A and B are shown apart, each in its own frame.
Chain A
Amino acid sequence: MTLRIAWRNLWRNWKRTAITFAAVSFSTAVLVASYALMIGWTQVMEKSVTDLSVGEVQVHHPDYRSERSLYDTVENPEMVLEAAAARRIPASARSFGFGLLSSGSKSAGGQFWGVLPEAERAVSDLAANLLEGDYLGPSPQRRVVLGRKLARSLGAAVGTELVVVVQAADGSLGNDIYTVAGILKGVGESLDRSLALIHRQDYEELFVFPGKVHEIVLNTRGAMDPELAAAAILPAAGTNEVITWRRLLPTLAQMFDSMIASVLIFGAIFLLAAGVGVLNTMLMATFERIPEFGLVKAIGASPWRILREISTEAVILGFFGSVAGGAAGVLIALRFERHPLDLTMFVEELNFMGIAVTNEVPFALTPACVWGPVLAMWAASVLAALWPAVRAARMKPVEALTHV
């Protein structure tokens, strides 16, 4: 009977019910879609950070990050690489060094990255971000892939020969001629201006630094939690520093976290707005029915019964409103999950703290994106109805019966 009364009461003023239903549905739909957008965006940005070059976990000599010395190399890199391989964690060893690159009358400083191209492909997307030309081949061929701005500074194009001069590890002057194999797209300010990617064997010859590695990058591309990946290779790392990207780039990590927090705040505002809508409806519905509540109290209904009857209306309204809104939000999120939102119309090149981020933002629909807002909106609707319900339940029957 309670359900029947509640249902019929909702239809007594169907326009008011429809407006409240629409408010609850709209708010839920916006919440579901915005949560999916924010999760998708955060995932894309995290992926940009980790997959472009940083990786999920890095291993260095304990002093390397503070000193950036050529001689602070990873101890026993083979053991780390073997430990990663044993856990099927893709890993790539990188050797770094600075030098001068010249083309004709133009010259510029650059940071050389000596990598094994296939291993590097497994941990970073640099190979997939070529503006022109090719990536490095499997064997050393004195070929270099340049950052976009570095290539521009040198006036270099694919096929251009560059004279390279470096301070080798043994104190000698290393020099050679390299051919530009490819030029990268914008991948972040720092890499754009300085990256000179070469085969690790070429690096070892140029810098006279065989078998030395400055960084080992691990990247499971989301298959494993970075903390777990770090823990997996920690025993093999010895005195080396093992650090996740979150600790390596704390400001960026905090920014991503704050994006999630801002969505939660945004969500709370919507919940409040929808809650006020339901409160308003329930207040009006309750006030105009006060003599009715007086009647049912007079004939023996307990205060609890009144509370239950009014709350049931909010439960029904909140349920259908939030479920309908949740369904609409899912449809919106699925649409943009399949066809990501293109931000090119707002900004041509998206860069966060020097790291390039894709302009296409896919929505990421997770179960929590749906049930979170649906349940929260439902709860907000019921909570909003409690106050008028308690007021009605506590009224004296005679006052309620004669209420005008």
Chain B
Amino acid sequence: MNDMVKLEKVVKVYGHGATEVQALRGVDLALEAGEFTVVMGPSGSGKTTLLNIIGSLDRPTRGRVLIDGEDTTRLSASSLSRLRLTRIGFVFQAYNLIPVLTAYENAEYVLMLQGRRPDERREKIMGLLRTVGLEGMENRFPRELSGGQQQRVAIARAIASEPELVLADEPTANLDSGTAASLLDLMAQLNEEKGATFLFSTHDPQVMRRARRTIVLHDGEIAADRHGPAGDE
């Protein structure tokens, strides 16, 4: 199978001199299309940095990042924007919705950036909001939604354009277990039905149990990489 994501000796260093911190120390990693993978590890182990670099939100200090064989470390800022827009979906820990847009508009935003027709956008987003259980809340602004509802909007936005790769950084960190479970069900369903590749960073055992592959990061290095949920030996 082709690697959807491939990291070759990726190093990320923050600061310099006495304040230098190595967040990633020569990480080699390959993700195949359709994987449902969890990255776990203690705080400061480099999980978020790894996701940021795979998602081209940040550039590695050294090494290469390939998405479907294309080296993203050589792309311009505009090309990276285009890559994120068309192929990658993000779910952040802290909901990260645009406060002046309604739930519907937030979910619609990526499709609008992609230049999809309004009627196509409407059909897609209304269906997605129904799927994430936000039917009837389309016109609510983020401040009028609970944390779980906001995260559902963020997930709807992340998957609206049916990206090949969804990166989710601690997506359930601020959610109650019931809400977290329903969102995980949704993402698993998308993974199975659409074949989208999911990469989570998490501390949440509920997420870990769902993973089909688990990567353990420790001090910026991959300490373990095994197939199956965390805890399965």
Contacts and interface: CB of A to CB of B under 8 A. Distances in A.
A264 interface: no
A5 B96 CA distance: 16
Interface of A: 1, 4-5, 8-9, 12, 291-292, 295-305, 396-398, 401
B113 A305 contact: yes
Given A5-B101, A303-B81, A298 B55 contact: yes
Contact of A299 (B52, B99, B101, B157): B157
B57 A397 contact: yes
B46 to A, nearest CB: 13
A401 to B, nearest CB: 7
Given A300-B82, A300-B84, A398 B110 contact: no
A87 B81 CA distance: 70
Q: What 10 A-B pairs have minimum CB-CB distances, sorted nearest first?
A: A300-B85, A8-B100, A398-B58, A398-B57, A397-B57, A302-B81, A300-B84, A295-B96, A398-B52, A1-B112
6 contacts: A291-B96, A298-B84, A299-B89, A302-B78, A304-B78, A397-B57
B109 A296 contact: yes
B81 A297 contact: yes
Contacts of B113: 299-301, 305
Nearest to A5: B100
Interface of B: 52, 55, 57-58, 77-78, 81-82, 84-86, 88-90, 92, 96, 98-101, 105, 109-110, 112-114, 157-158
Contacts of B157: 299
B99 A396 contact: no
A391 to B, nearest CB: 14
Contacts of A398: 52, 57-58
Given A303-B77, A401-B92, A298 B57 contact: yes
Given A5-B98, A299-B90, A300-B110, 6 more contacts: A8-B101, A295-B92, A299-B109, A299-B158, A300-B85, A396-B57
Contacts, number: 65
Nearest to B114: A300
A305 B82 CA distance: 12
Contacts of B82: 300, 302
B105 to A, nearest CB: 7
Contact of B81 (A12, A292, A300): A300
Contacts of A8: 100-101
B102 to A, nearest CB: 10
Contacts of A301: 81, 85, 113
B84 A299 contact: yes
A303 B112 CA distance: 16
Given A1-B105, A298-B57, A401-B57, A303 B98 contact: no
Contacts of B88: 300
A16 B7 CA distance: 47
Nearest to B49: A398
B86 A300 contact: yes
A9 B99 CA distance: 9
Nearest to A291: B96
B123 to A, nearest CB: 17
B228 to A, nearest CB: 30
A298 B78 CA distance: 12
B178 to A, nearest CB: 26
A292 B82 CA distance: 18
Nearest to A289: B99
A90 B52 CA distance: 83
Contacts of A305: 113
B176 to A, nearest CB: 24
A303 B84 CA distance: 13
Name the residue in A9, A291, A295 with the highest tally of chain B Cβ atoms < 10 Å from its Cβ. Answer: A295
Contacts of A9: 100
A4 B89 CA distance: 24
B90 A298 contact: yes
Contacts of B109: 1, 296, 299
B68 to A, nearest CB: 17
Name the residue in A300, A302, A398 with the highest tally of chain B Cβ atoms < 10 Å from its Cβ. Answer: A300
Contacts of B105: 1, 4
B57 A299 contact: no
Nearest to A295: B96
A292 B98 contact: yes
A29 to B, nearest CB: 30
B100 A299 contact: no
